[in-house]
């Protein structure tokens, strides 16, 4: 069924119940400001800015958006982009686009002007809906991006080159538009994360979106009494489809602006959140704050918090062991996926399998998995190969890129580009990205294994392992290490700790520096390779 049917069902069944809460601790509730000020104001009150809408209002707002889009000429199959920070308007706009039969195209809010233009052209968008934080970026390319496209502005003080969202939707009907949708209809274009170069445009249909929603609810047993805390950006499949478990259950979700440990625990406490999805850096920050005594668990009401889950990147087992020391009653899950598989969940650990922490898990609801060699033949259990997945959440295609599509989808199987192995109990362990494997003196070295090991050192806050050029071995392992705040560490200490690794896996170069991660928590290894790899090459050339 089309995913919009779930919203309309919730309107009918749970219309008067709260669907979404927007919580912004950086803006006091008593200070009503413009949208531009809203993004800049500093906290001057202990009461944060808070808004909420019910399921009926959510659906009616989506209908108004849909009818507004139709009045502006948007029709089935057109592409409408969203460039906004998380806010109460985001999801009604997204569902309004879907209700017209058009294709929703969320943009990464970190895109600069050139990237916005690139993705607008790649997805062939007909309209861009954007928030106040992006006026400057849009204005810089306004002459190019506005050709043949409508620009709709969500906020106060509409710029002259755009139309006001508020004015356009004010007089539109709150009744659903008369557009027939099928689950085979195209629904959304998402962009690959960009950690491997220019993003690709990933097309999904309604079946994919509905599958993701039903899978999330099933994996985490989300019910009507749950409250989901959503912190990551909604433009990404991870946040969106984890939230969709709440859509299936008809339960409340909180959109939180802020990632500090204090803000997260305060939101869990005050909003009575039961399910929280964290990225590795945020979970590590919470543990660090608890270790230092900056936060005390007894200062918060956390007894209702039943599940903490992590996705988007490999999770060090040492982190979860440490987490359970503070939160022994928490259920835990990790989710694996990629935007081409409608985000997280095609593989998941399962809350009943915490004894297998370190694995990404088993095939998710309605998914199949296999691990293959370079000829796409399945490898024996225990051997490393490329992970392939198959299920109703596989993308339709890379938009307007049949060559890349054919290379990625083979007989219905999605090639993930991730190296994995299957253990004796049938659990899948992620080894590394195929392109991140380090080949040193003919030996394959998998950075994730070393990163997980180093994460167990009590002074290490974050770590990334990359290959560095070497004239003799081709590559050597380099560890970029971020130390926990307030601590000091030497190379000798790291080297001593690494004696627990086989000699060939021990980092040959240690660099103390920040580890860059993107909005979904993935390490930006291309940026690290560019920075440190180029430095190494220059140094070698100078020595030569």
Q: Where are the beta strands (DSSP E) in 174-280?
A: 186-191, 201-205, 227-230, 252-256, 275-278
Q: In the prediction, which pLDDT does 196 show?
A: 45
Q: Does residue 140 share a domain with residue 32?
A: yes
Q: Does residue 225 share a domain with residue 152?
A: yes
Helix (H, G, I), strand (E, B) or coil at 397: strand
Q: Does residue 449 share a domain with residue 355?
A: no
Q: By residue range, what is the domain housing residue 365?
A: 306-433
- End of a domain among 404, 433, 462? 433
Q: Does residue 331 share a domain with residue 464?
A: no
Tokens representing residue 499 in the block: 């004696």
Q: In the prediction, which pLDDT does 40 show?
A: 35
Helix (H, G, I), strand (E, B) or coil at 15: coil
CATH of the domain at 368: 2.30.38.10
Is residue 278 included in any domain, yes or no?
no
Q: In the prediction, which pLDDT does 36 show?
A: 36
Q: Does residue 408 share a domain with residue 449?
A: no
Is residue 532 included in any domain, yes or no?
yes
Q: In the prediction, which pLDDT does 199 show?
A: 81
Q: In the prediction, which pLDDT does 516 show?
A: 87
Which string of DSSP letters, residue by residue, matches 155-181?
Answer: SSS--TTSEEHHHHHHTS--SPP----
Is residue 97 included in any domain, yes or no?
yes
Degrees, nearest 5: CA angle 165-171-175: 100
Mutual orientation of helices 4-14 and 90-99 as an angle, nearest 10°? Answer: 120
Blockwise average pLDDT, block size 10, the chain, 544 residues: 96 97 73 36 51 97 98 96 96 98 94 91 96 95 92 95 95 95 96 67 96 96 96 89 96 94 95 93 91 94 95 77 94 91 90 90 96 95 94 96 95 92 93 74 76 90 87 80 92 92 86 82 79 53 39
Is residue 340 included in any domain, yes or no?
yes
Is residue 122 included in any domain, yes or no?
yes
- Spatial separation of the C-alpha atoms in residues 112 and 198, rounded to whole Å: 13
> Which residues are CB-contacts of 329 (< 8 A; sequence separation ≥ 6)?
306
- The tally of domains found in the chain comes to 3
Q: Does residue 237 share a domain with residue 158?
A: yes
Q: In the prediction, which pLDDT does 287 show?
A: 94
- Spatial separation of the C-alpha atoms in residues 344 and 494, rounded to whole Å: 33
Q: Does residue 331 share a domain with residue 447?
A: no
Q: Does residue 446 share a domain with residue 404?
A: no
Rg (CA), the chain: 24
Q: Find the DSSP H helices in 171-236.
A: 206-220
Q: Does residue 189 share a domain with residue 156?
A: yes
Q: In the prediction, which pLDDT does 38 show?
A: 34
Is residue 25 included in any domain, yes or no?
yes
Tokens representing residue 214 in the block: 């039903």
- End of a domain among 398, 433, 468? 433
Backbone angles phi, psi at 120, to 5 degrees: -60, -40
Is residue 294 included in any domain, yes or no?
no
- End of a domain among 433, 452, 471? 433
Place of tokens 């020391």: 325
Q: What is the dihedral of CA 13, 15, 17, 21, to 10 degrees?
A: 120
Q: What DSSP state is assigned to residue 375?
A: T
- Spatial separation of the C-alpha atoms in residues 123 and 118, rounded to whole Å: 9
CATH of the domain at 164: 3.40.50.12780
Place of tokens 């531009």: 36
Q: Does residue 55 share a domain with residue 140?
A: yes
Helix (H, G, I), strand (E, B) or coil at 504: helix
> Which residues are CB-contacts of 425 (< 8 A; sequence separation ≥ 6)?
356
Q: Does residue 201 share a domain with residue 57?
A: yes
Place of tokens 């259990």: 381
Q: Does residue 454 share a domain with residue 401?
A: no
Q: In the prediction, which pLDDT does 328 show?
A: 95
CATH of the domain at 448: 3.30.300.30
- Choose among 393, 399, 502, 516: nearest CA to 449: 502
Model confidence, pTM = 0.82
Is residue 300 included in any domain, yes or no?
no
């Amino acid at each position: 069924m089309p995913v919009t049917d779930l919203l309309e069902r919730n309107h009918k069944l749970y219309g008067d119940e709260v669907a979404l809460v927007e919580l912004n601790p950086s803006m006091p509730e008593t200070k009503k400001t413009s949208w531009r000020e809203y993004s800049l104001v500093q906290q001057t009150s202990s009461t944060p800015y808070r808004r909420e809408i019910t399921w009926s209002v959510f659906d009616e707002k989506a209908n108004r958006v849909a009818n507004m889009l139709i009045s502006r000429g948007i029709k089935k199959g057109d592409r409408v982009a969203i460039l906004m920070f998380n806010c109460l308007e985001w999801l009604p706009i997204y569902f309004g686009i879907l209700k017209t039969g058009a294709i929703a195209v969320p943009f990464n809010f970190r895109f600069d002007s050139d990237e916005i233009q690139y993705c607008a052209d790649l997805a062939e968008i007909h309209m861009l809906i954007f928030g106040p934080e992006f006026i400057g970026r849009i204005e810089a390319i306004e002459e190019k991006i506005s050709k043949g496209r409508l620009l709709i502005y969500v906020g106060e003080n509409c710029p002259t080159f755009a139309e006001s969202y508020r004015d356009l939707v004010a007089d539109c009907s709150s009744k659903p538009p008369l557009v027939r949708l099928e689950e085979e209809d195209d629904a959304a274009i998402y962009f690959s994360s960009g950690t491997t170069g220019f993003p690709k445009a990933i097309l999904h249909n309604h079946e994919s979106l509905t599958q993701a929603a039903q899978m999330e609810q099933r994996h985490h047993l989300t019910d009507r009494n749950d409250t989901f805390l959503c912190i990551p950006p909604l433009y990404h499949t991870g946040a969106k489809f984890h939230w969709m478990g709440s859509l299936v259950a008809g339960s409340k979700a909180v959109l939180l602006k802020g990632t500090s440990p204090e803000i997260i625990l305060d939101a869990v406490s005050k909003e009575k959140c039961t399910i929280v999805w964290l990225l590795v850096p945020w979970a590590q920050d919470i543990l660090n704050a608890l270790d230092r005594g900056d936060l005390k668990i007894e200062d918060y009401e956390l007894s209702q918090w039943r599940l903490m889950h992590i996705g988007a990147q490999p999770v060090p087992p040492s982190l979860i062991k440490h987490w359970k020391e503070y939160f022994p009653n928490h259920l835990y899950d990790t989710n694996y996926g990629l935007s081409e598989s409608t985000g997280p969940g095609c593989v998941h650990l399962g809350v009943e399998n915490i004894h297998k922490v370190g694995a990404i898990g088993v095939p998710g609801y309605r998914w199949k998995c296999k691990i293959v060699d370079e000829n796409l033949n399945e490898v024996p259990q225990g051997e490393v190969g490329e992970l392939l997945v198959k299920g109703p959440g596989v993308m339709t295609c890379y938009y307007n890129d049949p060559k890349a599509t054919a290379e990625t989808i083979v007989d219905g199987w999605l090639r993930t580009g991730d190296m994995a192995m299957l253990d004796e109990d049938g659990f899948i362990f992620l080894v590394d990205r195929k392109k991140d494997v380090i080949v040193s003196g003919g030996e394959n070295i998998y950075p994730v294994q070393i990163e997980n090991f180093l994460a167990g050192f009590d002074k290490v806050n974050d770590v990334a392992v990359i290959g560095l050029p070497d004239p003799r071995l081709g590559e050597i392992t380099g560890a970029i290490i971020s130390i926990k705040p307030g601590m000091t560490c030497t190379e000798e200490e790291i080297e001593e700790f690494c004696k627990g690794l086989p000699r060939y896996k021990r980092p040959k170069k240690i660099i103390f520096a920040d580890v860059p991660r993107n909005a979904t928590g993935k390490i930006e290894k291309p940026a690290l390779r560019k920075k440190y790899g180029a430095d190494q090459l220059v140094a070698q050339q100078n020595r030569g």
